[in-house]
Chains A and B, each alone.
Chain A
Amino acid sequence: MTARAAPAPADRIDTGKQRQARIVGFLLIGLAIFTAFVFGLDAAGDATFRLSRPRDPFALPDLVVPAAPFLHIAAALLAFLGARQFLRGGIRWTALSLGIGLAILVAAFLVWATAGKAFSLTGMLQATVVRAVPIALGALAGVLCERVAVVNIAIEGMLLAGAFTGALAGSVIGGWGGLVSAVAIGGLFGFILAALVVTYRMDQIIAGVVINLFVLGLTSYVSSQVFAEYRALNNAPVFRSWKVPVLGDLPVIGPVLFNQNIFVYGAMVLVVTATYYLFHTRSGLRARAVGEHPRAADTLGINVYRTRYIHVTLGGMVAGFGGAWFTLGSVGRFDENMTGGRGFIGLAAMIFGRWHPVGALMAALVFGFADSLQQKLALLNTPIPSEFLAMAPYIATIIVVAGLIGRARPPAADGKPYVKE
């Protein structure tokens, strides 16, 4: 990369951005055509979105959108954004217009899919938040590890270990005990990962793959060897949702954000805490220094090894908490491989969120939205196969990693072992 001849660096960067702006413009115009001709042509009737349930204290009227006019306006807006982007190529506008464009597209899609039917918007948003929780916590675990330059492919395994421990310990010593144990086991696997990659200098990706295989093997083994026989060991209590007094009664945001279980609140608190810690405290700055330039950090007296151990263990604990969601937060029972790749989606959310806790949460919400939308699609009888929607987060991640639309930059020393002189 560095060896490539560069006539004038400034020019090259500029044309790169310009090209990117044009790509985005082109994409938006394409989406406009898609909206107008695929959604717009067969939309008839009104789309009814229910915002509140009958028993809510503050009832909002249903949101009724006439489908055809809405879709034409959406297409026009997309075309305008795209044309603006294509002709003017405003560099600062690229990300913004893309974001607005995608939001319009999602709204248009929902209106098109609901045309002539009724559909509970609040219910879907609530499902979005619930589904986003394990992804967000997995992504946050990834952020904590990668900020100190340890690549964590093992998020999936840590989630699974948390889910398993939550079910087992929860059945034996109750819900809170199960939660604490799940966090502890997550931390243990974080510590093991740190030991393998920091002390024994094992390849970070191999170490992650191995932890995933090991946890999958161990939990499946115990589940088929022990749980099948002793059912009582796999019957944990579930944390019920708890309504925040006044806020929980608000329309729409009440049920979505303030009438959830401990995992949703925990995820929000952890994201805020992690952001504050990483970007506004002294030890957070040190941690990031270890991730960007370990040798410089070492020279300044920061203990690189200890910092990595601490943060990877903390990341494991966060993932263990997220894993407990699968059992203590939803069904109370462990099934083989029940995380089903959520850890990898968390990894994607971390990249999507550009290695920032808030970004990771936002990305997790987008993925959670795609997930719950996919469930609703079956209900709404749309002709779009739900598999394509399910693929969208993965393909979006590939696009982001490839830098086709904005590049995400990992911490500089990410994935490299550090050998003290």
Chain B
Amino acid sequence: MSERIRVNEEMRTLLARTTRGRAGFEDLVVVPVFAVIVALILGALTMLATNVDLATIGKSYVALLHGSVGSLNALSETLTAAAPLVLAGLGLALGFRTGLFNIGAEGQLLMGGMAAVMVGFSLPELPAVILLPLCLLAGAAMGAFYAAIAGYLRAATGAHEVISTIMLNLTSYRILDYMLRQPWVQKEGRADPISKSVPEAAELPRLLEWLDPNLRVHAGLFLMLIATAFVYWLLFRTKVGFEFRASGENPDAARYAGMRSKLIIVLAMATAGAFAGLAGANQVLGVLGRATPGFSAGIGFDAIAVALLGRSHPVGVLFAGLLFGALEAGGRQMQVDAGVSIDLIGIIQALIIVFIAAPLLVRAIFPWGFRRSRDKAGGQP
């Protein structure tokens, strides 16, 4: 009996998707905008609660804006911070579309970044034309492999990918710790865990260095744009992408239609991991130049938020990643200008996702912003 109801509900959401109109607009634009505004207001209340006076709160939000889009340097920082978020977020979005909840982007990112660094410093005599693509490829391949473990386990044994990716994340931290202490990885003459630096030929070239050597925006920007276009093409213009989406929408229907569901799971996980690995490679080749413990800095988890905020659509992910990159870059400025800790950004980001992921909650807070609709709001009148 419950099965029939579930199918009914799925049919209803499927029908709702086909009828483009105000509902789609609400979901795609109104909810995210509300979410960002409410999160900023609640962030201000948090500051107020921790004894920050009103003038400083105003100053910090001005600094947030200024530090994210206020100058060429700010834009450069925003784009630099956005690139890995978008890359990893695209992979996660692809997984979500396939019905896979991959929490392991952090681990895949670490492993991918580590592979890219190793290839980079092992082959220093190669020219940039060969070495850079090789490093990126190594990162993507390693990330894909690491994610495919979870995908294979899901497909072959039914082990839930949430648990296995969490465990693979924790494992990857230890693997990184171990690798960074190996003599052929560790930087010469250093006692702390830090890898050798990648040669210049393996670095993603800085784009605006000729204007000002402090502008950090690098070729990862193109990587981000190409990846967005690629994922769009893959998801909506190819047979594989259709199979991904079909398995995500309705696994049973996909299987009855003759799609090989197990292969699709492994493929989708591997593709998602490849993007996370690429994000890791982007960080070490474009920004850091080497691997250190925890160099991922939580990007893999923020990317989950980015994918959710972008509604698992490549273009949405691009904009969500830019927003989170802006928050990141602006948050640093806020810390400098107003003396408000950058950890506030973490609170704002978490609140944004709450409101995005629970549209019912947003509707409950802002009943006037939405058309009264029975089918969308579920229990709401």
Contact = CB atoms under 8 A, between A and B. Distances in A.
Interface string A204-239: 011101110110111011111110000000000000
B378 A220 contact: no
Contacts of B347: 214, 217-218, 221
B13 interface: no
B346 A216 contact: yes
B238 interface: no
Contact of A202 (B158, B255, B361): B361
Chain A contact residues: helix, strand, loop or mixed: helix
B27 interface: no
Contact of B166 (A203, A217, A224, A347): A347
Nearest to A344: B166
Contact of B153 (A201, A214, A295, A398): A398
A6 to B, nearest CB: 16
A196 B160 contact: no
A223 B343 CA distance: 9
B344 A221 contact: yes
Contact of A217 (B101, B346, B360): B346
Contacts of A419: 5, 9, 378-379
A59 interface: no
Given A206-B353, A217-B344, A387-B175, A403 B157 contact: yes
A222 B167 contact: no
A202 B301 contact: no
Interface in B318-372: 340-341, 343-351, 353-354, 357-358, 360-361, 364
A3 interface: yes
A307 interface: no
A226 B51 contact: yes
Residue from A210, A220, A336, A419 having most chain B Cβ neighbours under 10 A: A210
Contacts of A385: 178, 181
B26 interface: no
B357 A225 contact: no
A31 B378 CA distance: 56
Nearest to A209: B304
A129 B178 CA distance: 27
B157 A402 contact: yes
Interface in A342-397: 344-345, 347-348, 351, 385, 387-388, 390-391, 394-395, 397
A94 B45 CA distance: 58
Contacts of B357: 202-203, 206-207, 210
Range class of the A interface residue count: 35 or more
Interface string B289-305: 00000000000010011
Nearest to B345: A217
- Interface centre among A1, A221, A391, by most chain B C-beta atoms within 10 angstroms, is A221
A107 interface: no
Given A1-B158, A295-B2, A200 B103 contact: no
B162 A153 contact: yes
A341 interface: yes
Given A196-B361, A217-B346, A391-B174, A206 B341 contact: no
A388 B353 contact: no
Contact of A200 (B174, B353, B360): B360
A397 to B, nearest CB: 5
A390 B353 contact: no
Nearest to B252: A3
Contact of B163 (A203, A217, A341, A401): A401
Contacts of A401: 153, 159-160, 163-164, 167
Contacts of B349: 213, 217
Interface of B: 1-2, 5, 9, 46, 50-52, 101, 103, 153, 156-160, 162-164, 166-168, 170-171, 174-175, 177-178, 181, 255, 301, 304-305, 308, 340-341, 343-351, 353-354, 357-358, 360-361, 364, 378-379
19 contacts: A200-B360, A200-B361, A201-B358, A202-B361, A205-B162, A206-B353, A214-B346, A217-B350, A221-B341, A223-B343, A224-B341, A225-B341, A225-B343, A344-B166, A387-B175, A390-B174, A398-B163, A402-B159, A403-B157
Which 9 A-B pairs give the minimum distances between C-beta atoms? A217-B346, A214-B350, A221-B343, A220-B343, A217-B347, A213-B350, A202-B358, A387-B178, A402-B159
